Chain A
Amino acid sequence: MNTPNLEDMGCGTSSATKDKKSEKALKAALVIQNWYRGYSARLKTRQRYALTIFQSIEYADEQGQLQLSNFFSFMLENYTNVPEKEPGLVTRLFGSSIQDKDRQDYLGLIEIPDSYCGPRLQFPLTFTDIDLLIEAFKQQQILHAYYVLEVLFETKKVLQQMPNFTHTNTSPSKEITICGDLHGKLDDLFLIFYKNGLPSVTNPYVFNGDFVDRGKNSMEILMILFVSFLVYPNDLHLNRGNHEDFMMNMRYGFTKEILHKYKLHGKKILQILEEVYTWLPIGTIIDNEVLVIHGGISESTDLNLLHRIERNKMRSVLMPPIPMDGDRAEKKNKLGTATVALGIRTSGSFSEQLTKQEWEQVIDILWSDPRGKRGCYPNTNRGGGCYFGPDITSKILNKYQLKMLVRSHECKPEGYEICHDGKVITVFSASNYYEEGSNRGAYIRMSSGTTPRFFQYQITKATCFRPLYQRVNAIESSAIRMLKERMISRKTDLIRAFQLQDRNKSGKLSMGQWAFSMENVLGLNLPWRSLSSHLVTTDKDGNIDYMSGFQDVHIQKPVKEVQSSLIETVYRYRSDLQIIFNIIDSDHSGLISMEEFRSMWRLFKSHYSVHIDDSQFDELAERMDLNKDGSIDFNEFLKAFYVVHKFDQLNKSDTKLA
């Protein structure tokens, strides 16, 4: 018997209303859903744009960084023009700094005061020391310099025994975990250990480089990793990243962190650290199938050669081997004479560098990025290494009978990314790398014969996530700030480019003209049309008032009378200048002499073709009243150049990448 249907029972009018009602509801729901999906898509796109901005600027900065090595070569070539007070610089760049540092020389002179209540390590180290450190660091304690140095010496000693590539095996019951860049973000490391367990004989790890720089706990991460390595040298594997490089640290924050946390013994730590880095293995090979390296490969990657080289001769990406072939004999003699004149120990110093080919092989491993385009191209964004396509991956993997490449080096929104047909995995373990909410972190667990498993996470300061639109707003504002600072640092060049196109001097350009000029001068490969609404004002005809881009930002003038162009130039190159100053200041005192300051500036000027009067620069230095007995505190000098955002709560430029 059929149960009667309300609608069949002749409730004519009410069923018609019901239908009409539900039709209206349906339509209303459709409207809301349609609107919401549009809104949500636009949010995600804004998030993507912000990440693109961060990434473009980061890579452009890296490129600028690498161009410094040209400058250093230039400086050395022009050495004889520089007054004799430059020995510090030359020794740093050219002379061998490896007088075997005696452990006792360093440790013997350091005393741990009774008042020290930080963690105390017991050598030989055991797993209790790992726990001890973690607990101490969670309470923001600082490990005493004595222990830092002990750990560094021990780590170097053990690393020296290890080959260039660590070979390790897994089994179904013993998976291995691979982590990517941590960049000083201690909370991410704590989270990984919490989720995945501490390293042990049954829980092996590979840390794939870039442990330091940018984040504020690079030292703590390094200590935990090195101590864990010393306790489990066969189960905790460390690969060198492009930031395990003393010169990169000068620019990207680790050097500063060390000198700040260790005011008394920081210099010693920096010296030993420089060497420890060079002994870090180049990569790890798992089950003879999976190659784990920090950056990538190139079409000429030769694993056999890389197994053989003396890896510790790779001091820094900014110190390429000095050419020694026949037609450069004259140059070599010039340098040779100069160094002899300074009494620098040069015997055998030329043989203490890698060959050009070997050096480039290592650079490729540490700096390359995979891309979809076939072939191998110079990595113009970063200025080092190359872009390698899926065909290169196949070729190299096949050549050495490998199945997969696991690498890091690039921040990915989801913490990991698979490309090249499943053959290349990028894993990145620093969540919120650019900004709170910018990306997740991830790690991989794998064992022979099984598919790798990915684990993602994201650190958040709040107890619950802010809604998506607030997070997107935050990273978007941060990205736009950064972009505006970039614009202001190139203001003169940009205005020139705009005016070139503005034939009738109207102050306006079409969207196409504006976008073209922006890309031509800044070269960041950004979606300018989509970003224009954040950067400039547009009139009702769609034309852009190009000067409006500079309206609410300006560079603080430390001295009123000095020309804007000089201020702009110093601001623009301040990161490069920071490195150069740090190198000249070989004893890390924070001070260099006025002489050194002037002569360095002159060299810098001529190499970078900067057209500023010497007298202007001198005036600036003197006016800033930074002379302390004829020396200049260069950190104070550089800090005085910052960008002011008119409508901003924060007044000082807060660039996270510097």
Chain B
Amino acid sequence: MPSSRGSLRPRDGPASLMSPPLAEVAVAEFHKKIKEAFEVFDHESNNTVDVREVGTIIRSLGCCPSEGELHDLIAEVEEEEPTGYIRFEKFLPVMTEVLLERRYRPIPEDILLRAFEVLDPAKRGFLSKDELIKYMTEEGEPFSQEEMEEMLSAAIDPESNSIHYKDYITMMVIDEN
């Protein structure tokens, strides 16, 4: 990405004499955060990203929309005639609102644990590989084959061919923090 190195003129200067109202500062910070996340996927540095990466960008900003909700969001930011690319100008206002309204909050750890327990009514403490595959690829918003393989590679204990979900959740949570 071309940088404006060599110029000591600040692109946006430090706070002026009068501090702007808190809400404005918050929005400005959101804008910068969103811009950063967007730019990382803007491979050609022309303020557009591939529509297939929009979900990743939104989730990287801490939101957890379902596939259905994501679909709706994409419809909001797409062009009238979809080009396969999403422009930053359209993405920014929509995403800012999402962040301001704190929409699509992530799932808390305990709810996630309960979900696994629902699928394990016998309370064995684990799900077999086949059971996990069945639920993930047949229920809800089914996983693609790639998503399934990816989850299995980290979750499955190869010796027992099962997923001990409590340990798995703990491991994932530690990794994120």
Which residues of A are interface residues toward B (Cβ below 8 A)? Answer: 24-42, 44-45, 48-49, 52, 370-373, 377, 379-381, 387, 417, 419, 465, 467-469, 473, 501, 510-513, 515-516, 520, 523-525, 527-530
Contact = CB atoms under 8 A, between A and B. Distances in A.
Interface string B10-51: 111011000000000100110011001101110111101000
Contact of B28 (A27, A512, A523, A530): A512
A377 B6 CA distance: 15
Interface in B86-122: 106-107, 111-112, 114-116, 118-119
B40 A45 contact: yes
Interface residues of B, number: 61
B116 A32 contact: yes
A451 B146 CA distance: 26
Contacts of B8: 520
A527 B140 CA distance: 35
Contacts of A380: 2-6
Contacts of B45: 371-373
Contacts of B2: 371, 373, 377, 379-381, 387
A33 B141 contact: yes
A38 B111 contact: no
B56 A44 contact: yes
Contacts of B60: 41-42, 45, 530
A525 B3 contact: yes
B55 A41 contact: yes
A529 B176 contact: no
9 A-B pairs closest in CB distance: A372-B46, A372-B44, A41-B59, A29-B140, A527-B36, A29-B139, A45-B60, A467-B154, A31-B115
A644 to B, nearest CB: 26
A38 B48 CA distance: 22
Given A41-B58, A467-B154, A468-B153, 15 more contacts: A27-B115, A27-B118, A28-B114, A28-B118, A28-B119, A29-B136, A31-B112, A34-B64, A41-B56, A371-B45, A419-B43, A513-B14, A527-B36, A528-B36, A530-B40
B151 interface: yes
Q: Is the interface of B mostly helix, strand, loop or mixed?
A: helix
Nearest to B155: A467
Contacts of A520: 8, 10
Nearest to A513: B14
A501 B14 contact: yes
Contacts of B58: 41
Contacts of A381: 1-3
B75 interface: no
Contacts of A530: 33, 36-37, 40, 60
B40 A48 contact: yes
A39 B56 CA distance: 10
B39 A527 contact: yes
B175 interface: yes
Nearest to B117: A28
B147 interface: yes
B67 interface: yes
Nearest to A526: B36
A169 B25 CA distance: 61
A52 B3 CA distance: 13
Interface string B143-162: 10001001101100000000
B29 to A, nearest CB: 6
A508 to B, nearest CB: 14
Nearest to B143: A33
